[in-house]
A and B are shown apart, each in its own frame.
Chain A
């Protein structure tokens, strides 16, 4: 029996043809054996997964089987690849399996699963849908479809949150810009946390405002100071006669009549537009967004001429007229808002007053 032939010689006799068929039958059966072997390996557990892959690969390379059988082998290899976490390969195998046999439900399932792991959600959905068309009652596919959907809505939710945070921040930034307000680096973050101004539905700004008693460096906080409010409105409430005086104020020097409010002029460097946006995004869903619109960059130099006017912490104390609104004061050209507005409270009845007025006091 001639197991090999001279090149070019065709099987001619009846006998030779029969022999060839026999060889090919052996090849088939050995391919199927390889497939079985592969399946065995899979059952044997993790350590043997790579052997299984090897068997499947060899079986495929023999190119001896029909499309349907090949589809099963590809789909099996996809399964092992999934188990190994080779999602990209698993997806390729499953897709190949589908190409070879468009009724291979398992292949659809595996393709969907791999897609989900690769975060290709549109593809995952489409594989699930096609799989379910073939086998509408397939519980596993249904479960997977639900999983894909919930992942989708999770992502959409997060994106919506980020975009909402971005919109809020952008609106705020443009409100600041329209008002010609200048934002500087945050001071006293330990006292204020991540508090930010809020725009109400009428586009009016509400600021959190920090009052610092310079003499003792203790603080008071006004949660909601509407920009159209006068200072006196808030001081009225804080220093009403019925309220007990401040616990540290043993002399009773800090009363409505005796207090004066100051802000520090031109202290700090004005933030660029981009920095303002980043500051406004702090502590929101948008805080991790990396690219804050490249289009903003070119405008950042718009601010550079502003910063010329800002000396470095050479702060001069400017007295606040408490009959003015917050907006009136913030709008002063020399007011650089340190994250949120900060005002310094001193009492003209306290011995400290003289020192403060003489400019001898500086921020600790």
Chain B
């Protein structure tokens, strides 16, 4: 005999919109409680496809369905199951449905699904060489479009998805690939006033800098975008003297010749410094840093810094640069 839960789940596929609506509201409610979650987990084989089938419905039905899925996807076991049954693809398809009213929820669903390696692989489309990275390119484009206007911009959480995928080497490769030019699009988003967005960008760059040893060129060749995102948050808030800014590229010099709002979040500063550290570990990276007058920026930034955690991150880079003999010149000769 069917249990209550089974019966309820059965109603999700009812031909009557009213019944469907009621059923999905109840299911959403269940996903909010421990007990409800447990009983739904037991029937995940039916619940997951039934809910995802509702994502294309009118907003009054698709919204609670998506909310239920988001809640369910917080459970690692269920999240992996969703990945296995192709939920990433489903979410991407509905996300780019012409009149989807649940984009923000679908992005959050993707965010939860990319907590696991399998989910990341699925979003990167690693299994098919031909389409690899296509989803990511789409998400990045949406992320970068019209950033400021709407407060509740549905793609705001894409930044966090990017942080997730850049934890995986395959993800960093795709982001750094100069032909796709994704990082180049992402970097300027650091200018956004949204903290969520800023954090997404800075986390992503920092993760990408783990490739500095192998792919330094792909980072430094977009230095026009890279250095502002890394150096401006750690530059302090004072206006710089002309003799300092004259040795900087315009994208740094122009901004630093005025007083600025400081970046409040210490995590962002630490991440930026960690990224700079990873770059400065490489000889060509240090040279590039010197060539934009980076050491001076960090010197000034360090003087303003009060958070001990961040100070430590400054000092770590300092130790690398001191070995250059404290000279004003970039390391004279590259080894050939």
B336 nearest in chain A by CB position: A198
Stretch at the interface among B112-120, B278-286, B307-315: B278-286
Kindly identify, within residues 178 to 213 of chain A, every residue whose CB is under 8 Å from any CB belonging to chain B. Answer: 178-179, 198, 200-206
Question: Interface segment, A113-121, A220-228, A301-309?
Answer: A220-228
| B221 is an interface residue with CB less than 8 A from chain A | yes
Q: A178-B178, A230-B291 are in contact. Are A200 and B224 (CB under 8 A)?
A: no
Among listed A3-11, A48-56, A67-75, A323-331, interface-contacting one: A323-331
Q: Does B216 contact A (CB under 8 A)?
A: yes
Asked whether A233 lies within 8 Å of B330 as measured between CB atoms, the reply is yes
Given A178-B178, A202-B216, A323-B250, do A228 and B223 touch, yes or no (CB 8 Å)?
A: yes
Known: A228-B291, A230-B291. A200 touches B335 (CB 8 A): yes
Residues of A within 8 A of B81 (CB): none
A202 touches B292 (CB 8 A): no
B249/A204 in contact, CB under 8 A: no
A201 contact set on B, CB distance < 8 A? 283-284, 335
B289 shortest CB reach to chain A, Å: 9
Q: Chain A contacts of B336 at CB under 8 A?
A: 198, 200
| Cα(A313)–Cα(B23), bound, Å | 74
In-complex Cβ contact of A200 among B246, B250, B284 (8 A): B284
Q: Is the beta-carbon distance between B335 and A323 smaller than 8 angstroms?
A: no
**A175–B216 Cα gap in the complex (Å)?**
12
Assuming the A-B contacts A206-B334, A228-B291, A328-B224, are A323 and B249 also in contact, with contact meaning beta carbons closer than 8 angstroms in the complex? yes
Q: Tell me which residues across on chain B come within 8 A of A202, comparing CB atoms.
A: 216-217, 282-285
A172 vs B247: C-alpha distance when bound (angstroms): 30
Give the distance in Å from the alpha carbon of A321 to the alpha carbon of B249 in the complex.
Answer: 10
For B179, B285, B288, the residue with the greatest tally of chain A CB atoms inside 10 Å of its CB is B288
Report the separation of the CA atoms of residues A202 and B285 in the bound assembly, to the nearest whole angstrom: 8
Bound-state CA distance A201–B217 (Å) is: 10
Return the contact of A179 from the options B221, B224, B335 (Cβ within 8 A): B221
Q: How many residues of A contact B (CB 8 A)?
A: 26
B319 lies within 8 A of chain A by Cβ? no
Whether B253 is near chain A, meaning CB under 8 Å from some CB there, is yes
CB of A260 within 8 A of chain B? Answer: no
B92 contacts partner chain A, Cβ-Cβ < 8 Å: no
Does A92 make an interface contact (CB < 8 A)? no
**What is the CB-to-nearest-CB distance from A208 to chain B, in angstroms, rounded to a whole number?**
12
Output the least CB separation between B89 and chain A (Å).
Answer: 31
B333 interfacial by beta-carbon distance below 8 Å = yes
B301 to chain A, nearest CB (A): 21
Closest to B282 in A: A202
Task: Return chain B residues, CB-CB under 8 Å to A198.
Answer: 336
Given contacts A201-B283, A224-B333, A224-B334, contact A323 B253 (CB under 8 A): yes
CB of B220 within 8 Å of the partner chain: yes
Between A and B, 24 residue pairs with Cβ closer than 8 Å are: A178-B178, A179-B178, A201-B284, A201-B335, A204-B220, A205-B217, A226-B287, A226-B288, A226-B334, A227-B220, A227-B221, A228-B223, A228-B287, A229-B287, A229-B291, A230-B291, A232-B246, A233-B247, A233-B291, A236-B247, A321-B250, A323-B248, A325-B223, A328-B224
Interface residues of chain B, those whose CB is within 8 Å of chain A, are 178-179, 215-217, 220-221, 223-224, 246-250, 253, 282-285, 287-288, 291-292, 330, 333-336
Q: What are the nearest 9 A-B pairs in CB distance? A: A202-B284, A228-B288, A204-B284, A202-B216, A203-B217, A228-B220, A323-B250, A323-B249, A202-B282
Contact surface of A with B, Cβ cutoff 8 Å: 175, 178-179, 198, 200-206, 224, 226-230, 232-233, 236, 321, 323-325, 327-328
